[in-house]
Amino acid sequence: MNTDLKQRIESLLEETENKGVRLVAATKTVCPEIINEAVSYGIKTIGENRVQELLEKYDKIDKRNIEIHFIGKLQTNKVKYIIDKVDLIHSVDSLKLGQVINKYAAEYGKIQEILIEVNVSGEETKGGIAPDELEQLLVSLSKLDNIKVRGLMCIPSVEKIPGENKRFFDLLYKLLVDNNNKNIDNIYMDILSMGMSGDYLTAISSGATMVRVGTKIFGQRNYTEV
């Protein structure tokens, strides 16, 4: 038994799930054995961000009591490999990707729940749709029968000063509320996925309903690329 892992998970659950915020364990580079151990300590949701890695680990992950989310950049040609494996896709940022997910979800016979990734920090290198293009995307996606938009997600850069990302999280919260009030057919969003190891408390204070935490659960990964 890994008492450090158990303790880290218990104290995080205290700050999140016990306050009604879903804790998604970001499990990139984490092997299935450790994932299963984390689940035994109370993790209920895991988030993978590479299709290949998810496929390699999938059979060895104990899936009885967990949800699997896809949180990384998703290429349209990889959607077909994960459509039967994931409960929520956090990172939809184009109509094209939404259409492909809709197509494979229809073939598989499910309604795929998705979040829209918004580029709240406006950095050119970041994924996500621009805030001022969000409404149009939601209107277009609302016409697709086999996807359901559940909310919004963002990945601002790691905070250099504590609280620095608050303005971005506040913006995502506002976008969720504003778009819910527009009464777009079939769009009512209730999930805000924001905050990682360095800023999840900031995100929760801005209304996050879901945080994605890796390092603070599993320790430093041996690579820095996200």
Ligand X SMILES: *Cc1c(COP(=O)(O)O)cnc(C)c1O
- CA distance linking residue 126 with residue 135, whole number of Å: 19
131 touching ligand X, by CB under 6 A: no
- Token pair of 177 as six digits: 């509320």
* Residue whose Cβ sits closest to ligand X: 214
- CA distance linking residue 185 with residue 39, whole number of Å: 37
- CA distance linking residue 72 with residue 226, whole number of Å: 8
- CA distance linking residue 103 with residue 97, whole number of Å: 10
72 touching ligand X, by CB under 6 A: yes
Site residues (CB under 6 A) for ligand X, limited to 25-44: 26, 28
155 touching ligand X, by CB under 6 A: yes
End-to-end CA distance of the chain: 29
Query: Nearest distance from residue 105's CB to ligand X, in Å?
Result: 21
> Which of 49, 102, 119, 206 lies at the binding interface for ligand X (CB under 6 A)?
49
Contacting range for ligand X; rule: CB under 6 A; set: 76-84, 96-104, 144-152, 192-200: 192-200
Judged by the rule CB under 6 A, the positions of this chain that interact with ligand X are 26, 28, 49, 71-72, 155, 196-198, 212-216, 226
